[in-house]
Structure 1
Amino acid sequence: MDHLKRLLIAAINERSGHQVGSDELIRTALDALIGGVDTPALRQLAGLTRGEEPEAHDLFEQVIHELDLAPSLPDHPADARWVLIRWWCRLIVDGDLSPVEGGQRISTMWSEVGYADAIRPIVGAVSQWEDWTEHYDVARETCAEEIVAAAQQLLDRT
């Protein structure tokens, strides 16, 4: 996966309240730096030692701004959630986030966006994937494919 996309995924996770571990931020920064991405904060983040890990999240916020990775989220919580949902759908469709992981993240926000009908197919496919047994008439992978299709439909509508 492209180093900027890995940084973007970490930024989305951070902005959505799914805090990424300091060690993962440092490793992602180091990989990006080795891969040719370079900013002052990225260099600092990549060079943190275990004792400096508490600084990782603040430095990562600087990286986000230096690379303009994630636009500011809207102030209204429901609007911000829709931005995150669309980000996750884009990552799912582009193959940069597993359909199941992305679908689960979207499903956790379903109640927070008023059980919107646009998300129902994703939630349903995630539920089928989670409840799947070998006795089902369809392959488990079909559930993941349905998540991708539902994410694309949501993006097509917005």
Structure 2
Amino acid sequence: MHGMDAVVAIGLIRMAAADRVLAPWQRPSDERLVQLGLDALLADVEAPSLALLAGLGRNEYHEAPELFERVLEELGLLPLMPEDLAEARWIVALWWARRILERDLDPLCGAKLIRLEVAAELDYPDILQPIVDLAMMIEPLDDQAQNQGNVRGDVIAAAQAFLNAETHRRDSA
């Protein structure tokens, strides 16, 4: 994933750790845990078990949950604290918004990710509402390619507005 740094990688790991308590079909797959390990390793996150997790072959994916748990412990991410998880979600939302602007993430996909993985988990904060509203419009548009271009442009504008607002908020804090 382009432009991922250690802070974003750890944010994604925190989010996956929180999702482990969900129903089995909603939990991150073993393959996803290995990919998170690889992304974190490439982002220069350091934990002794991270290379083991990232290096698992397909026939070893069943070992991923145990190694992921070790990585969480080694990074000091346990116990998961609600405020840490909320901050992780904000960090990841900002990263996805930047990737949308850099054309590194499809705006429709990015809007859906921000809506489902961040906004829904943070009780739909006002600053994300424009992206959420656009993400909700996307589903019916899936069959109407000509209208997707308009929504893509709107998502890019909403992502820019979100980044500008967050930069202003952080600068004035």
Normalising by structure 2, we get a TM-score of 0.58
1:148 deviation in Å? 1.4
Q: Give the RMSD, CA atoms, in angstroms.
A: 4.1
SS of structure 1 residue aligned to 2:157? helix
Does 2:95 correspond to 1:86?
Answer: no
The correspondence for 2:160, drawn from 137, 141, 149, is 149
Would the alpha carbon gap of residues 102 and 66 (structure 1) be closer, same or farther in structure 2, given more than 3 Å must change? farther
Partner of 2:52: 44
Amino acid at match of 1:74: M
Would the alpha carbon gap of residues 126 and 11 (structure 1) be closer, same or farther in structure 2, given more than 3 Å must change? same
Greater displacement, 147-156 / 94-103: 94-103
Would the alpha carbon gap of residues 82 and 50 (structure 1) be closer, same or farther in structure 2, given more than 3 Å must change? closer
1:124 deviation in Å? 1.5
Distance 1:31 1:91 in 2: 14
Does 2:68 correspond to 1:54?
Answer: no
Distance 2:146 2:3 in 1: 38
Identity percentage of aligned residues: 23
Structure having the larger proportion of residues in helix = 2
Distance 2:59 2:148 in 1: 52
Amino acid at match of 2:66: D
Structure 2 unaligned residues grouped into runs of 5+:
20-25
For residues 130-149 of structure 1, the aligned pairs below 5 Å read 130-132=139-141, 133-134=144-145, 136=147, 139-149=150-160
For residues 1-158 of structure 1, the aligned pairs below 5 Å read 1=2, 4=5, 7-8=9-10, 10-17=12-19, 19-27=27-35, 29=37, 39-50=47-58, 52-64=60-72, 66=74, 73-75=80-82, 79=83, 82-95=86-99, 98=105, 99-108=107-116, 110=119, 113-132=122-141, 133-134=144-145, 136=147, 139-153=150-164, 155-156=166-167, 157=169
Amino acid at match of 1:15: A
Structure 1 unaligned residues grouped into runs of 5+:
none
Alignment length (residue pairs): 154
User: Contact 1:22–1:53 (CA<8 Å) still a contact in 2?
Assistant: yes
